[in-house]
Structure 1
């Protein structure tokens, strides 16, 4: 199943890149934002439905369970949030990809898609936002269709994106482990974050080196550990350390001057069951304005 899930997930990433290329955005800086945000929307959608089916099988076993969700009143639906784990975004029926897909023939569909992403960001802002050194919040999503400069093409671009997302189901990958998600993360960002000095490259610790460092730093199981990286990049080393310790047994603290790297680290934390640490991700310059301190000194 792992190989099948890997191939299916990589195929979606390739399909999203093809959509960008067909709309003149291939190999552009905005392609990175579109690919990572569309992928994250799909992952959060399926994570939510996966958890919902676990806690409320009576609700989701119906043939048209999405319609039943739509018929629930606000108070009843909000009670569902208390039953779900906190490592998933909370979505309303209007946010589900199937429901957005069903509205793709409406006017201004690009606006519908963008509004949906921003609404998800706002509702989940407290848990999923990255903080800047100045205290501002960087939300999960942007208006991704506005990267297409010709406004007349945005609706078709949005339809192409949503049609790719609705074609696959990621619920099966929720049981996959660190090795799977580290492989997918590396594939997702391979064209945008590498050590070959490309146009959009960021420095990062290669997977093989991170694995060795984690084995040295965590020689035996341990509990209640904090991990701090003052120049975290996309978080490859942090993820290996957290995997060696156990994601439920550690808390990650980080800072990095790059907003792109901080967004990648957030994605990495979401994929690797470390949502509880997103609030500790700081985008800023550790050299001139270190954020994480202990007893008046830089955290170690």
Structure 2
């Protein structure tokens, strides 16, 4: 069922795909899918609250009629609205329900202004949806050069989406389909869209790492300070005994991406109240959450690589950074992100962060920070990932695992750079690739050409350089060359060449030619004579 929904949702993008870049039309398609979900969910809830059978009211049309009838009864109207606010925390006027607008689209009477009013009403009246539809720009010239053309474009999208009974798929399938679309947009749009999405298999691997040993917790907290679409946080619950008890905290600088994460969490069944723990702000320049201490069972993040930040000297006095002696350089915020995440990690927690390889060996301030982390025993594992794995960059990356409660200073090195499935545009990880990494991470033992547990003394001898090839030797010896075989092949090639020369010589000799060509042919024949 999930595959079918994926295909149907993506086909709805046809009306937009030729008009704008994927990083832009994703805002329209994902926003409309989310609005349809809210609308359809409300109608289903109205029937349930009225103690009616969903088998009797089995279409959105019947449910809409029932909803309108309830609201027309002044004696129960307010009770119906109050019940919706108590359960799903929002309400939508019948005129602005998705299916009502879609019906107008099918009749070619739809007006963009009606959809705009629907967006404004739900955003203005319910704080959890504030600003969520701001990026669905219904006045954009990319939808059409005039109001009529824009109306036609959105009409076609509404028609295609109206045929999909989203709620019939149930469970996480809706959210997973949404995640599927986000991944496709990241792939299509390259670097610009790749900023908000971590490939699913990488996210899966990191989620398994940060939950290891904590699977039985009845209450589990996860924090992503650069949350993008929220996929890293959401994946964590797949490896916990009580997935409904996960508490999500996330921060994202880009407002459009922040809204996308909120939609993604809601579609995965995260309660609206939990969205108050998501924040649209700059993680590095203003620490959040600020309550002392505010720490989490897991921190998981894929920050922008080597980003610029202020590196203001005031930060060296902050508890996030002061223990490490130096601030990350202005042009490379990698260690600033890492230290921020580590600061918010519980003593019993695990953190996983994706960074470029430079953090493993660069000197100056970064060298000082890395040395302090190693001496504190906070770097637990360094995993080398394959190149061309992330959207928008072909560089190989490393996943660094950190923990606070360690009694040792050793570091496990895993070189997974050669374990991947080659794709046309992006490389991918298979389940077997991930299982191999997780097995090495659990066992914490040497595996030939794949993993090495380095002692503190060994790392110190390497001047605190964590470059993976210093610890994991993946060199493959070239097979011995069979000189006798090569000599035989060369002899055969020479014989074939001599035969070809002879044939060409005979062909040129037999040609009829003009007297003035005599010199040219004589020269050619001399060349072949010399070769012979």
Length-normalised TM-score, structure 2:
0.47
**CA RMSD, 1 decimal:** 3.0
Q: Is the 8 A contact 2:111 2:151 kept in 1?
A: yes
Q: State the Cα deviation string for residues 214-273 of structure 1 (Å, max 9, x = none).
A: 223323222233221111121121001134344431221111222232122112201111
Aligned to 1:154: 150
| 2:45 is the counterpart of 1:51 | yes
Aligned to 2:462: none
Which segment drifts farther, 82-91 or 201-210?
Answer: 82-91
Matches within 5 A, 1:1-300: 3=1, 5-15=2-12, 17-21=13-17, 25-27=19-21, 29-58=23-52, 61=56, 64-71=62-69, 72-73=71-72, 76-84=76-84, 86-87=87-88, 89-104=90-105, 109-124=111-126, 126-129=127-130, 138-142=131-135, 144-147=137-140, 148=143, 149-174=145-170, 176-177=171-172, 180-181=173-174, 183-194=176-187, 197-202=190-195, 204-218=197-211, 219=213, 220-245=215-240, 246-274=242-270, 275-295=272-292, 299-300=344-345
Alpha-carbon distance between aligned partners in 2 of 1:141 and 1:222, rounded to the nearest angstrom: 38
Q: Is the 8 A contact 1:95 1:120 kept in 2?
A: no
Matched residue of 2:194: which SS?
Answer: coil
- In the alignment, structure 1 segments of 5+ residues that lack a partner are 130-137
The CA deviation at 1:92 is 2.5
Alpha-carbon distance between aligned partners in 1 of 2:39 and 2:6, rounded to the nearest angstrom: 14
Matched residue of 1:221: which SS?
Answer: coil
Over 6 Å off, 4+ runs = none
Alpha-carbon distance between aligned partners in 2 of 1:204 and 1:116, rounded to the nearest angstrom: 29
Matched residue of 2:193: which SS?
Answer: coil
The CA deviation at 1:81 is 4.4
Q: State the Cα deviation string for residues 57-109 of structure 1 (Å, max 9, x = none).
A: 43863584422322324673342345457456432322222322344468771
The CA deviation at 1:156 is 1.6
Rg larger in 1 or in 2? 2
Alpha-carbon distance between aligned partners in 2 of 1:173 and 1:77, rounded to the nearest angstrom: 30
Distance 1:42 1:65, change over 3 A: closer
Determine which structure has the larger helix proportion and give its number. Answer: 1
Q: Is the 8 A contact 1:228 1:254 kept in 2?
A: yes
Alpha-carbon distance between aligned partners in 2 of 1:98 and 1:204, rounded to the nearest angstrom: 30
Q: Is the 8 A contact 1:231 1:286 kept in 2?
A: yes
Alpha-carbon distance between aligned partners in 2 of 1:202 and 1:121, rounded to the nearest angstrom: 26
The CA deviation at 1:194 is 4.6
Matched residue of 1:226: which SS?
Answer: strand
Q: Is the 8 A contact 1:114 1:143 kept in 2?
A: no
Distance 1:141 1:9, change over 3 A: farther
Matched residue of 1:255: which SS?
Answer: strand
Distance 1:188 1:197, change over 3 A: closer
Matched residue of 1:228: which SS?
Answer: strand
Q: Is the 8 A contact 1:233 1:261 kept in 2?
A: yes
Q: Which has the higher contact order (CA 8 A, sep 6+)?
A: 1
Alpha-carbon distance between aligned partners in 1 of 2:7 and 2:47, rounded to the nearest angstrom: 25
- In the alignment, structure 2 segments of 5+ residues that lack a partner are 294-318, 320-342, 346-532
Alpha-carbon distance between aligned partners in 1 of 2:147 and 2:244, rounded to the nearest angstrom: 45
Q: Is the 8 A contact 1:101 1:163 kept in 2?
A: yes
Distance 1:165 1:185, change over 3 A: closer
How many residues are aligned here?
Answer: 282
Distance 1:225 1:50, change over 3 A: same
Q: State the Cα deviation string for residues 112-161 of structure 1 (Å, max 9, x = none).
A: 1221122122232x2234xxxxxxxx334555421224223122223212
Alpha-carbon distance between aligned partners in 2 of 1:159 and 1:170, rounded to the nearest angstrom: 19
Aligned to 1:134: none
